[in-house]
Structure 1
Amino acid sequence: MTKKIVFTGGGSAGHVTPNLALIDQLKDWDITYIGSKNGIEKNLVQGHGIAYRAISSGKLRRYFDMKNFKDPFKVLAGVMQAYLILKKIKPDVIFSKGGFVSVPVVIGGWLNRIPVYIHESDITPGLANRIAIKFATKLFVTFEEAAAHLPKDKVEYTGAPIRDVLLKGDRNKGLQFLGFHSDKPVLLIMGGSLGAKKINEVVRESLPELLKKYQIVHLCGKGNVDTKLTETTGYNQYEYVDKELPDVMAASSIILSRAGSNAIFEFLALKKPMILIPLPLRASRGDQILNADSFKKKELCEVMENDSLTSEELQKTIDNVYKNRYDYIDRMTAAQNATHGIKNILSNLNEI
């Protein structure tokens, strides 16, 4: 009999792409995805040809907003909708990647007595997962350090689920797509799907010096392309790169990025020396700071502070990491077990 699984998670690409990485490996399963009506997960999932069911969802906020009075009712409506969908589907298991839309699904699964597996990417759980953990059967974690913040009887360290497609990038295709040559190293700059204003500004200020040593591909976020620099030789700007990203990453010698968990474990899997500039506390709950600190302690990266970022320090750090790139690659090679999340999670799912 074909096993059935329901995936959930949304609100950002980071709550969806690990699910898609797993879905690509579950060829013999009957798969349904439950997400929000208008979230990013809808387009990402439907692009994979997976059955998608939308429910009502309310955002979970840590700050005062008038919507906080309305959204609990949306969450309750979502719980009822999820409960009825799950009652009809009767899946063998629910797999949640977090985000506010996952809470109604996890509760609906618990009410239906369906096993709920949650994957937490960060060292400390976000608000949605803090609520959902109470209803979970198992909790998979990316960082070994996460176990200290979670119920010991539910936690299992699996590492990060890495998208298989990222491991199949072609360096030559990447160089061809970028119009770059192989005589100068490629510096890839990623500020997340929305970009990063501070990083963009300092990188562009540093271009005259950086371009003497590196070819630069800059993923700067929607609306952040600087038209005055579009003809700059050796500097390519994109709001976002999708299908070509594995090839672009394969062509890159060094990466400058924010410190989202999914991204940094992908760099680790690809053995790309990295410089991380985590989101500051005023713009986040501090998860990226903890992620970056963990990698720094293991000597897998260099870390710079967003608010004190300067052109001079950026150039110096990039040059230092590139100079010592083989040392970073050696340490990344020794840490590859942390990128085997797909295999470890599949092992658990296959036991159901």
Structure 2
Amino acid sequence: MECSLSKNSNFIFCGGGSGGHVLPALTLFHYLKKECPDARFISIGSKSGIEKEIFTKNSLEYYSISTGKLRRYFSWQNFLDILRIIKGTVQSFFLLLKWKRAHSVVIATGGFVTVPVVFAAWLQRKKIIVHEQTTRVGLANKICSYFADMVLVTFEDSLKYFPQNKVKHLGYPLREEIFTPIAEETKIKDFTLKDIERPVLFLTGGGNGSKLLNDILDQIRPQIENEFFIVHQCGKAYESEYQSRETPFYKVYGFIGKEMIDLMKTAEVIISRSGAGTVVELMSLGKASIFIPLKIAQKNEQYHNAISAHQILGSKVIEEDELSAESLLEAIEEVRKIGKKSWVKNNPTHVIGNLIKDF
């Protein structure tokens, strides 16, 4: 579909605080950039958050504002953060004046940095679209939904949390690589995926790693290493510790980048935390996986994300309090029996991107 927008059109992305809020925006940026090459793409975030690194690395025009966190409980820090949010709203208001209302749409993907931007955009009557990734709604997106023209959700279960006259269930923006065959040459440091002869077991605690998941793999590794080729994304903080334990069939990486999708396609068993992006990508690949939700996640959102995968694909969910070597070994055997299932055929990125283009 060709872009009907002029080169004066502005797509303004805001979202941050974690990679889970930034990556959907980045996926939509890449799609819209391909469809509307003459449009202008802007990103707004905090001065030092992960969003700054990710957006600037991908050549988005980036502007920083002051931001603070609103808590659902009493804290003296709330008073300081309210002042920061007010400051960020003023900064956002004057920043957004640079771009004409009729030619601009703000796309907010979660995190408290979005609140000042969305409120300022509402004051200027700019078009606003909010995207919610998780099954349980964050406070920032809940606030933003009252000022948005449209709210898009990943999971159908999230529809009930937003104003019914403006919410749509369209799914999660997925990277195009999800729908392409495994690249023959995909290599992760010193090995090529197609050359692995054993079934692959992949464990990841996310980009920062998880000591809990690292430790449990250490416990079961002697029992599974004769059967699997094990790939372990341990987090950069743990990299030197675990790399010293490598064997020909156990490979350790602090962080795995763009090769991650092909690795997930190759793996027979995947053990992971259950952030929304990870869960939806694995569901889209038809992979019944083993999820160990982060216990302290807001509103236990990781648990509910994982339960969605369990209900649809039969993925196994082990809560932190129930995690043991025995429970994990049992889950590994169970997911191997399930095999691959089909869940999604079309990429929601196209649907969401086209809606934004025509909004």
Q: Choose the corresponding residue for 2:344, options 328, 336, 340.
A: 336
Instruction: Return closer, same or farther for 1:224/1:167 CA change in 2, 3 Å cut-off.
Output: farther
Map of 1:135-174 to 2, 5 A cutoff?
Answer: 135-168=147-180, 170=182, 172-174=184-186
Corresponding position of 1:234: 249
Distance 1:174 1:235 in 2: 18
Distance 1:171 1:186 in 2: 16
Corresponding position of 1:37: 47
Distance 2:184 2:333 in 1: 24
Indicate if the aligned counterparts of 2:243 and 2:253 stay in contact, CA closer than 8 A.
Answer: no
1:239 deviation in Å? 1.6
Q: Which runs of 4+ in 1 moved over 6 A?
A: none
The answer as to 2:85 corresponding to 1:75 is yes
Corresponding position of 2:266: 251
AA aligned opposite 2:118: V
Instruction: Return closer, same or farther for 1:63/1:33 CA change in 2, 3 Å cut-off.
Output: same
Distance 1:250 1:173 in 2: 14
Distance 1:285 1:128 in 2: 13
Corresponding position of 2:107: 95
Distance 2:291 2:183 in 1: 23
Distance 1:13 1:65 in 2: 26
Q: Choose the corresponding residue for 1:318, options 332, 336, 340.
A: 332
Indicate if the aligned counterparts of 1:171 and 1:250 stay in contact, CA closer than 8 A.
Answer: no
Number of residue pairs aligned between Structure 1 and Structure 2: 344
Question: RMSD of aligned C-alpha atoms?
Answer: 2.0
Map of 1:51-130 to 2, 5 A cutoff?
Answer: 51-90=61-100, 91-130=103-142
Corresponding position of 1:346: 353
Q: Deviations over 1:181-209 (max 9, x none)?
A: 43211111111222222211111100011
The answer as to 2:18 corresponding to 1:12 is yes
Indicate if the aligned counterparts of 1:174 and 1:251 stay in contact, CA closer than 8 A.
Answer: no
Corresponding position of 2:196: 182
More deviation, 162-171/148-157: 162-171
1:229 deviation in Å? 4.3
Q: Secondary structure at the match of 1:116?
A: strand
The answer as to 2:220 corresponding to 1:206 is yes
1:295 deviation in Å? 1.8
Instruction: Return closer, same or farther for 1:299/1:169 CA change in 2, 3 Å cut-off.
Output: closer
Distance 1:81 1:200 in 2: 42
Q: Deviations over 1:140-182 (max 9, x none)?
A: 0000111122211111010110122454473543466452643
Instruction: Return closer, same or farther for 1:167/1:236 CA change in 2, 3 Å cut-off.
Output: farther
Structure 1: which 5+ runs fail to align?
none
Indicate if the aligned counterparts of 2:246 and 2:252 stay in contact, CA closer than 8 A.
Answer: no
Instruction: Return closer, same or farther for 1:97/1:283 CA change in 2, 3 Å cut-off.
Output: closer
Identical counterparts, % of pairs: 35
Corresponding position of 2:287: 272
AA aligned opposite 2:292: I
AA aligned opposite 2:17: G
Structure 2: which 5+ runs fail to align?
1-5
Corresponding position of 2:3: none
Indicate if the aligned counterparts of 1:158 and 1:340 stay in contact, CA closer than 8 A.
Answer: no
Instruction: Return closer, same or farther for 1:231/1:291 CA change in 2, 3 Å cut-off.
Output: closer
More deviation, 159-168/302-311: 159-168
Indicate if the aligned counterparts of 2:243 and 2:251 stay in contact, CA closer than 8 A.
Answer: no
Q: Deviations over 1:122-151 (max 9, x none)?
A: 122101111111111100000011112221
1:277 deviation in Å? 1.0
Distance 2:297 2:134 in 1: 16
